[in-house]
Structure 1
Amino acid sequence: MKKFGIVALLALVVMSFSSLPAGYKVGDKATDFKLKSVDGKMYSMADYKDAKGFIVVFTCNHCPFAVKYEDRIVALAKKYKSLGYELIAINPNDPAAQPEDSFDLMKVRAKEKGFTFPYLFDEGQKIYPQYGATKTPHVFLLDKSLTVKYIGAIDDNVDDAAAVKERYLENAIAALEKNQEANPSMTKAIGCSIKVKK
């Protein structure tokens, strides 16, 4: 009986892990997507023929962590567009679970904050599990061939942009520019869990 209990427990552990999004690891090739942006147009990475790489940020309207990073995300988009890197923001939350993340309110937020990049809605929540995003914000740096080069947090200080010591994403882009591997290539994303309709 005791042996059966251990087997059952192991089966439960395996099942709970298998239900988590597997997602990409550094070195994997990411799949492109075609999602609707707040301007009403559909966007995919294939639209950017001359891009040197992509900064894909899973973020949203309501999460306090995402809100604290908004100005930094806007600044990163401006800074790196001139170097050939396109920033694309994706809202992975189901508005049925979090009404503040509806498409209409995404439009309002993008206008308020002056987003200069596509802010896409992951309708049906098909894209974030492919990437393995678990938080908002959660960042994926891809090279021009869509190979994943960095996954994780933007930097090491959610609360105070002026007190940041480690700029993980920017360091990863600098490494990519030199054809080097990012170090670290993976960090823990700090933020709100992705909201799924129950």
Structure 2
Amino acid sequence: MKTIKILSLVTLVVVMSAFTVNKIAVADGYKVGDVAEDFKLMNVDGKMVSLSNYKDAKGFIVTFTCNTCPYAVGYEDRIIALNNKYASLGYPVIAIMPNNPDVQPGDSMEAMKKRAKEKGFTFPYLMDDGQNIYPKYGATKTPHVFILQKTAKGHIVKYIGAIDDNYQDASAVKTKYVENAVNALLKGNEVPEKETKAIGCTIKV
């Protein structure tokens, strides 16, 4: 009986430790002002993509998104519009799919390729294979946006959060958080609102 109790306690500790590590990994993600590390992830075109590939970029609109979340799907056209507006100005969209495709088969690489083709994505749509990147950023939702500014010190996080203030209706948006942030950076100004709450689906691990 005593052995069973000890084994139960050990099991509980291991489970709780695993949960805590996961929570800490996300909670300890990048904050505004931190330097974001570069990454190398597979794009839907079969090529590996890194931030360092973009020599002329002034920064990036790194967006964690996916195929299967209704919030992410609802924002797809707005993400495309952001890239169309800002890529030529030096702030391209870099979309990253953070979900575990074993848990969420609709987010497999094949499904990503199909979706990117259907929607005509003009930006990279990368898979976070092994789910190593999203915890570094501290992403918790799809979509979840991190705006980076390229500096001599590295890629500085300037904004974290939602794309805008109305996920249900693009025509009813009052505050465009990402656009306001990028516009400020392009003018050499401080980002007016540096952090907002990301609204979306939880990342599947």
CA–CA separation in structure 1 for the residues paired with 2:25 and 2:179: 32
Residue 191 of structure 1: aligned partner: 200
- How many angstroms does 1:39 deviate by? 0.3
Residue 80 of structure 2: aligned partner: 74
User: AA paired with 1:75?
Assistant: A
- How many angstroms does 1:86 deviate by? 1.5
CA–CA separation in structure 2 for the residues paired with 1:48 and 1:19: 28
Q: Could you state the TM-score of these two structures normalised by the residue count of structure 1?
A: 0.89
1:130 aligned onto 2:136: yes
User: Retained in 1: the 8 A contact 2:30–2:137?
Assistant: yes
- How many angstroms does 1:32 deviate by? 0.5
Q: Which moved more, 1:171-180 or 1:138-147?
A: 171-180
CA–CA separation in structure 1 for the residues paired with 2:121 and 2:104: 21
User: Retained in 2: the 8 A contact 1:21–1:130?
Assistant: no
CA–CA separation in structure 2 for the residues paired with 1:82 and 1:194: 30
SS at match of 1:155: coil
- How many angstroms does 1:173 deviate by? 0.6
Residue 92 of structure 1: aligned partner: 98
Residue 156 of structure 1: aligned partner: 165
SS at match of 1:106: helix
Residue 48 of structure 1: aligned partner: 54
- Structural RMSD (CA): 1.3
CA–CA separation in structure 1 for the residues paired with 2:106 and 2:27: 24
Q: 1:36 to 1:19 in 2, by over 3 A?
A: closer
CA–CA separation in structure 1 for the residues paired with 2:41 and 2:88: 24
CA–CA separation in structure 2 for the residues paired with 1:34 and 1:82: 22
User: AA paired with 1:187?
Assistant: T
CA–CA separation in structure 2 for the residues paired with 1:194 and 1:109: 18
User: Retained in 2: the 8 A contact 1:63–1:192?
Assistant: yes
Q: Could you state the TM-score of these two structures normalised by the residue count of structure 2?
A: 0.86
Q: 1:87 to 1:19 in 2, by over 3 A?
A: closer
- How many angstroms does 1:93 deviate by? 0.3
CA–CA separation in structure 2 for the residues paired with 1:156 and 1:25: 21
1:30 aligned onto 2:6: no
CA–CA separation in structure 2 for the residues paired with 1:18 and 1:48: 31
Residues 150-194 of structure 1 show CA distances to partners (whole Å, capped at 9, x for unaligned) of: 000000000110110000000001111122221210000000000
CA–CA separation in structure 2 for the residues paired with 1:177 and 1:19: 32
CA–CA separation in structure 2 for the residues paired with 1:102 and 1:18: 27
Over the matched positions of the two proteins, sequence identity in percent amounts to 66
Q: Which moved more, 1:136-145 or 1:15-24?
A: 15-24
CA–CA separation in structure 1 for the residues paired with 2:36 and 2:116: 26
**Aligned partner (choices 186, 192, 205) of residue 177 of structure 1:** 186
SS at match of 1:170: helix
SS at match of 2:36: coil
Q: 1:58 to 1:147 in 2, by over 3 A?
A: same
Please, which runs of 5 or more residues in structure 2 have no aligned partner?
1-15
